[in-house]
Chains A and B, each alone.
Chain A
Amino acid sequence: MDRRTFLKATAGAGAFAASGLAAPAIAQGAKVLRFVPQANLANFDPIWTTQYVVRNASVLVWDTLYGFDENLKPQRQMVEAEETSSDGLTWTFKLRAGLKFHDGEPVRAKDVVASLTRWCARDTMGLMIKALQQELVAPDDRTVKWVLKKPFPKMLLALAKNSTPMAFIMPERIAKTDPFKQIDDYVGSGPMKFVKGEWVPGAKAVFEKFADYKPRDEKASWLAGGKNMLVDRIEWVVMPDPATAAAALQNGEVDWWENPIADLVPLLKKNRNIAVDIADPLGNIGAFRMNHLFPPFNDVKVRRAVLMALDQEEYMRALVGDDNSLWKPLPGYFTPGTPLYTEEGGEILKGKRDIAAAKKLLAESSYKGEPVTCVVAQDQPITKAQGDVTAELLKRLGMNVDFVATDWGTVGQRRALKSPPGQGGWGMFHTWHAGADCLNPAVYIAIRATGDGAWFGWPNVPSVEKEVDAWFDAKNLDEEKAAISRLNKAALDNVVYAPTGFFLSYQAWRKNVSGIVKGPIPFPWGVSKA
């Protein structure tokens, strides 16, 4: 090989490598909003996966029939009008005229039918509706008819909810994909188009304004109202390192950061070009779950002894530091500030902690000093901080802690095992729930206590399930509240799981960006950049 051949070959290799990162064609003067999301957009199918980051990107691309407003009320979005038969068995939805997909095709009722069918196979409420379903059909291009065998009063709640998976509407050809397989065509009818060619999973995702989007006339309110886009292009820049994201925001290389960590917030607040505010008023609920199948936590006295000793402030300080505006005690299970919030039965979590009483209760229980396998993911700051506090708590109680430090992927696998803790199973693990998922029992899988079919830990508490049914059958808000109060008490009495407190997080943005609102999703509509 001579020098010239060598140079040609290396130039060719360079060109090949460069082809993987093609330069984007951005129109002159286009307004570009650079956003740092909470996590990497590793895939883009909001039905196949339930990750929040996927949902947050999906609300740009796919629209929904209904959407929650900031009062948590379902409002029409793609739907123009709906009708319920007098027996409550038939729901008829009329689509708005002129809705289009990004490929130019009109949104038809058959697309809705296919989308809802796929969603029903994966969503908790969807599965409930599916179990009641007689038929789901499209009598004409703008009408969808859902006939049930039994009334389902929470229908609009199911279609509007923002907990994952949301009932997104996709073209029929995409929605016919097996719900357990991932789609690879990202055409929607939302206000932004996904630019597949510029997607570099783990690094960048790009969305461009959809010119034919027809926003509603009402003012935007969370997922409801007119989703007017005031920027032409949104670039999601994935930054795994919070310090880098903070520096990039200060330097003006990005415009909006979804979840700055509490440690860096004072630094950002000092910068006169940066605004900082609470991100999601629905916040998060910290939690650890105990395995109800095996000793020691199959004994309610042991679970209650742990709850008696648990100091929520210790957990919250470990999570958010000294910032008192970022946390609240939570003597219950439902999201504070929402209609169904209750503290009924929450005395066990209130007031000064009585370790002596907790130890006494533990002594009366069946606990005989066996190791408590406490599985803690170290790669998630929230679980790591909670795990460290719990280990100390258990030691204070005189329990024998087998602390298993691992990663989230392993916790995800191990917590599904129903074998005894000493044989690969577990005694307790830590997690957290988005407040949006703890509004009511329909979206709150962690509160369910159906035994084998319940969430990890498999609590079996018939009195909890009785109140879940009562909530579903409730005719009005008062009845709902009464059912939830009883449910909360039953769940705390039996310690379905241990709530460690309610915490919030911040978002931060450059001050040349305006229109950012607090909400469970970083809503991009109404956001402009000077």
Chain B
Amino acid sequence: MIGYVVRRVLATIPVMAVVALFVFSLLFIAPGDPAAVIAGDQATPEQVERIRQSLGLDRPFLVQFSDWVWRLLHADLGRSIFTNLPVTTMIAQRIEPTMSLTLITLVLSVTIAVPIGVLAAWKAGTLIDRAIMGFAVFGFSVPVFVIGYLLAYVFALELEWLPVQGYTPISQGVLPWLENLILPSIALGCVYIALIARITRAAMLEVLQQDYIRTARAKGLAQTPILFIHALKNASVPIVTVIGIGIALLIGGAVVTESVFAIPGLGRLTVDAILRRDYPVIQGIVLLFSFVYVLVNLGVDLVYTLIDPRIRY
């Protein structure tokens, strides 16, 4: 097992190298010029060129790439073209809101989605099942920003229960922290809840038709242990897989959610950096997201061994 983990962690190195090369190349060939953005409308072409030179953007691809890789090997992601701040500082400034939003959404989603998925499977074909699946279709279909605006209108503007926007660090108190995250987490969680609930239902439906479930029922076992101990554990592999895959959905959704609720997270930083062509920041964030995604996949693979003893690495 430990050998497997070490092998998987080592395998992330070539993956990250490919990601790095891909991201750098893509940004190099993409149109747009940060120097022109910095110089502004009134600048002459000569001034734009001077800025480009001072940023080192006039150098050949290989020189820029090798310079970037060399710094990367020294744990230096470089400095933002626009803010002149180290990319690591900018990521550190933004990581807490995104981590908080993602974690709360994850907890909220799993807590809601798994039970309702189980319930839908148990009550398959009934009104409850249809209502839950109807909600799932709604969650899939309605864009995050629409849900966000609706929630802000009802709970912030009309009822005045929660703030419209912003983020309070957890260091300033758990309650204010939660207050700022409730609406964005619900907005972001809708699609995730829908996804997990549907997969849970499908997996459970298959398991509930197995002979051992029939046997458990025949033995007179109560419904709750049948569903949550015997059936759910055996249906968990696809559910855990989809939770893992869904992390990517959450990261993508965080970009929109953070804009709608003005949360200063990595999602907004990414959009701002892309619009301005702030290459070092884009590269840093994409690398970070890729690394997180690889780690999540590793975590999911390891969880398989806990829920299904037949899986061995």
In the bound complex, what is the Cα–Cα distance between A21 and B40 (angstroms)? 30
> Cβ of B32 and Cβ of A410 under 8 Å apart?
yes
A247 touches B170 (CB 8 A): no
Query: Taking the complex as formed, is A133 at the interface, i.e. its CB lies under 8 A from any CB of chain B?
Result: no
- Would you call B90 an interface residue if the criterion is a C-beta within 8 Å of the partner chain's C-beta atoms? yes
A247 to B163 Cα, complex, angstroms: 10
> Interface residues of A, CB < 8 Å — how many?
59
Q: Does B241 contact A (CB under 8 A)?
A: no
B134 CB, min distance to chain A CBs, angstroms? 28
Query: Per a CB cutoff under 8 Å, which of A23, A201, A446 touches B90?
Result: A201
Asked whether A135 is an interface residue with its Cβ less than 8 Å from the other chain, the reply is no
**Is B60 close to A, CB under 8 A?**
no
Question: With the chains together, A73 CA to B280 CA distance in Å?
Answer: 43
Closest approach, in angstroms, between the C-beta of A19 and any C-beta of chain B?
7
Write the nearest CB–CB distance from B107 to chain A, whole angstroms: 14
Given A43-B84, A247-B152: A237 touches B40 (CB 8 Å cut-off): no
Stretch at the interface among B64-72, B199-207, B270-278, B297-305: B270-278
Stretch of A99-107, A175-183, A462-470 with 4 or more beta carbons under 8 angstroms from chain B: A175-183
What is the 8 Å Cβ interface bit string for chain B, positions 42-55, against chain A (1 contact, 0 not)? Answer: 11110110110110
Contact residue among B82, B93, B172 (Cβ-Cβ distance under 8 Å from A23)? B172
Interface size on B, residues (CB 8 A): 61
Interface string of A392-435 (1 = CB under 8 A from B): 00000000000000111110111010000000000000010100
Q: Name the B residues within 8 Å of A51 (CB-CB).
A: 40
CA distance A250 to B160 in the complex (A): 11
Are B83's CB and A20's CB within 8 A?
A: no
CA distance A14 to B92 in the complex (A): 11
Instruction: Give the distance to chain B from A325, nearest Cβ to Cβ, in Å.
Output: 26
Residue of A with least CB distance to B97 = A21
In the complex the two chains form, what is the Cα distance from A50 to B47 in whole Å?
Answer: 12
B144-162 interface mask toward A, CB cutoff 8 Å, 1 = contact, 0 = none?
0000010011001100100
Contact of B165 among A248, A406, A414 (CB under 8 A): A248
Q: Tell me, in angstroms, the Cα distance from A513 to B45 when the chains sit together.
A: 43
The answer, yes or no, to whether A445 is at the interface (CB within 8 Å) is yes
Q: In this complex, what residue of B is CB-closest to A203?
A: B264
Across the interface, do B164 and A248 meet the contact criterion of CB distance under 8 Å? yes
User: Which of chain A's residues have a CB closer than 8 A to the CB of B271?
Assistant: 240
Least CB distance, B295 to chain A, in whole angstroms: 13
Quick one: given A51-B40, A203-B268, A416-B36, are A240 and B94 in contact (CB under 8 Å)?
A: no
Q: Which of B110-118, B123-131, B208-216, B254-262 contacts A (4 or more CB under 8 A)?
A: B254-262
Partner of B171, one of A21, A202, A243, A245: A21
B152 and A200 within 8 A (CB) = no
Q: Does A49 contact B40, Cβ atoms closer than 8 Å?
A: yes
Task: Please report the C-alpha to C-alpha distance between residue A181 and residue B271 in the assembled complex, in whole angstroms.
Answer: 24
- Known A-B contacts A42-B276, A180-B51; the reply to A18 vs B42 at CB < 8 A is no
Q: How far is the CA of A350 from the CA of B2 in the complex (A)?
A: 80
Asked if B84 and A182 make an inter-chain contact with CB atoms under 8 angstroms apart, the answer reads yes
The chain B residue sitting closest to A52, CB to CB, is: B40
**Is residue A63 contacting chain B, with contact meaning CB distance below 8 A?**
no
In the assembled complex, which residues on chain A have CB atoms less than 8 Å from the CB atom of B96? 17-18, 20-21
B99 contacts the other chain (Cβ, under 8 Å)? yes
Contact B38 A48, beta carbon cutoff 8 Å:
yes
A204 at the interface (CB under 8 A from B): yes
**Contacting residue for B152 out of A50, A244, A409, A416, CB 8 A:** A244
Q: Which of B85, B160, B165 contacts A201 (CB 8 A)?
A: B85
Which residue from A42, A243, A416 sits with its C-beta under 8 Å from B82?
A42
Closest to B163 in A: A253
Residues in A whose Cβ lies below 8 Å from that of B40: 49-51, 164
| Cβ–Cβ contact A49 & B38, under 8 A | yes
Q: A240-B262, A251-B156 are in contact. Are A412 and B95 (CB under 8 A)?
A: no
A43 vs B160: C-alpha distance when bound (angstroms): 35
Q: How far is B42's CA from A425's CA once the two chains are assembled, in angstroms?
A: 20
User: Contacting A184 at CB < 8 Å: which of B36, B84, B260, B272?
Assistant: B84
Q: Mark A17-47, 1 if CB is under 8 A from B, else 0.
A: 1111111000000000000000010110000
24 residue pairs of the A-B complex, CB under 8 angstroms, read A16-B92, A18-B169, A20-B93, A21-B169, A21-B264, A23-B172, A48-B51, A50-B43, A180-B53, A181-B54, A201-B272, A203-B262, A238-B262, A239-B262, A241-B259, A243-B149, A244-B259, A245-B262, A253-B163, A407-B275, A408-B275, A413-B31, A414-B31, A453-B44
3 closest A-B pairs by beta carbon, nearest first, are A203-B264, A50-B40, A412-B36
